A and B are shown apart, each in its own frame.
Chain A
Amino acid sequence: MFDIERWQEIFDTIRKNKLRTFLTGLSVASGIFILVILLGFGQGMQNGIAHEFEQDASTSVWVWPGVTSKEYKGLNPGRRIQLTNENYETAANLFHDVIENKSPRNFVRNITVNYGKEALVYGVQGVSAQFQFIENVTMSEGRFINYLDESNTGKVAIIGNKIKRDVFTDVDSPVGELIEISGIPFKIIGVFGEQEEREEERIYIPITTAQRVFNGGDRINHMSYTLPPVENFDQAVAQAVSFKNEMKAYVQQAHTIAPDDTSGVEVWSAMEEAKRYYSLTGNIKFFFWFVGICTIIAGVVGVSNIMLIVVKERTREIGIRKALGAKPWSIVGMILHESIFVTAISGFGGLIFSMGLLEIVGPHIEVDYIINPSVNFTVAISTVFVLILAGTIAGFFPAWRAARIHTIEALRDV
């Protein structure tokens, strides 16, 4: 197929018809460019959403009580449900083989927090040791609460990075400093970081301390868990759903809540939520592909349109060539060869340009829900081939028509 004479003939034609070649190439290159950028942003969006979910442990499950809405076993609706240590212990026993981490949480209310003379307005929460892994916090200084703190009802506190920045400006490290919670001194033993600043405005103390010192009794506000990681996403979702249902059933049974009462107890699983977001990204990706394919179709239509015009413009030339002894297939070959060459070169040009742009600019893009837009090279290159192939098929018909042009008519004076 490598016919040097044909190539020379085609280069001649291209060199002498620069504008036409340029316009054809431009339409192809911009089609590819738009497609690659779109796909890149689809990927960026997926990256962004995945990033949002890295904040909490992806398998976390949270349980909190509500108010019953249905009459059940002689109990009136409108009952406020309160979780207790007993519920937490029983649940831990019941589900010990499916739980990875567990922690209760107690919001400590009606307290004042002071550092020296400064009043702090941060929320105080009583939690257990494994809460660190459930909230996915990273310790930047010191350590998190441990079991010893809990059994000793230790007067220790963990603060967020934001509190450190806002309050502890005069000391090197807040670790070892004392804060007063309702007049009782607590020693800071650690500083934690979170993905979101809002969650760094918290002070954690041991759950036992929260309950005993601040009059919490055996009440807890949340029970939180993580489930062990599973390779397969669908399995992880299934695991989360089954745990959620069993947990709900247990709490409903323990507090005599109607099984079909939707408001008595809430169980929230990050996995299920993630699944919704992943199917959303799936849809977004599908949408971008759809737009991309439409762009390609538009590109193909553009190419074949230009081909049609080119053929029309070259009618006379084709007539002359035929009169000089060009065979129909040599006309088809010439036009297709030229168009494939132009489409391929400009397609790759558009590809390289857009991928270069994504490579250079992509890593700097970090707004909400869009991170590092990039595109799969194989996908991009196969779209170029699809475009070339489709352009060839679309270009074949004008070329074939050109070859069938009646020589006399082509040569007739215009």
Chain B
Amino acid sequence: MIEIKDLHKSYKMGSNSLHVLKGINFKAEEGELVAIMGSSGSGKSTLLNILGMLDVADEGEYILDGVPIKDLNETKAANYRNKFLGFIFQSFNLINYKNALENVALPLYYQRMPRKARQEKALKYLELVGLKDWAHHLPSELSGGQKQRVAIARAMAAEPKVVLADELTGALDSVTSYEVMDLVQKINDQGNTILVVTHEDDIAHMCKRIIHLKDGVIEKDEKVKQVRASEYV
């Protein structure tokens, strides 16, 4: 599903150049649940941004579902993001003046889906994350865990090839974190490919595979025995 070869990225800081990614290679198959771990500065966010087409690599190849991602301009990247990717962020990033349903429906708007169909589909995904009754609440009326579940519903609504999650439990307490991970695992069980960036060990072990990043290279890439989050809930 995802294949990257020899990925390099450096940032210019004044006259200095900071080499963040120093040749990353990995493959993720369909249905995988991969955690990308590393301390801060290890390059994990940069890698996720490149995977999410929010940033471009200096060197290397990136193939997503057989499509080589290169020569991106803004419009093309927007198209790919809309078609291929779903995002879940640490700070939820819901639009605060739109209610849960409208937030979930937003990626579908950019897919040019008619309003009625969008709302039906958005409601279906809200039901999936257990928030059907909260569809008409604003984000400010929801708890952190609920917000993140709305965000997960939004990421899933566009039916992406890959879901990218950046520290999705970073702003949540541990009980809520496990609830959210339980949901992520269930979605993964249905065959969705999910990449989770995290620095928390317990969250990482709820995935099926952990990639350890250190100083811009992959230090270790291991398959792990998945810990079911439902055991903690």
Binding site for B on A (CB under 8 A): 5, 8-9, 12-13, 16-17, 316-317, 319-330, 403-404, 407-408, 411, 413
Contact = CB atoms under 8 A, between A and B. Distances in A.
Contact of A329 (B75, B91, B98, B110): B75
B45 to A, nearest CB: 8
Interface string B146-161: 0000000010001000
6 contacts: A325-B79, A325-B81, A326-B110, A407-B54, A411-B93, A413-B90
Given A8-B115, A413-B90, A328 B95 contact: no
A319 B114 CA distance: 23
Interface string B31-63: 000000000000000000100101100000000
A317 B97 CA distance: 10
A327 B75 contact: yes
A330 B110 contact: yes
Contact of B93 (A316, A403, A404): A316
A324 B107 CA distance: 5
Given A328-B74, A413-B91, A323 B54 contact: yes
A83 B73 CA distance: 93
A321 B109 CA distance: 10
A324 B110 contact: yes
A327 B74 contact: yes
Given A5-B109, A17-B97, A325-B111, A411 B89 contact: yes
B87 interface: yes
B126 to A, nearest CB: 16
Contacts of B110: 321, 324-327, 330
Contacts of A324: 81-82, 87, 106-107, 110, 154, 158
Contacts of B109: 5, 9
A203 B172 CA distance: 101
Nearest to B155: A324
A13 B52 contact: no
Nearest to B164: A323
A326 B89 contact: no
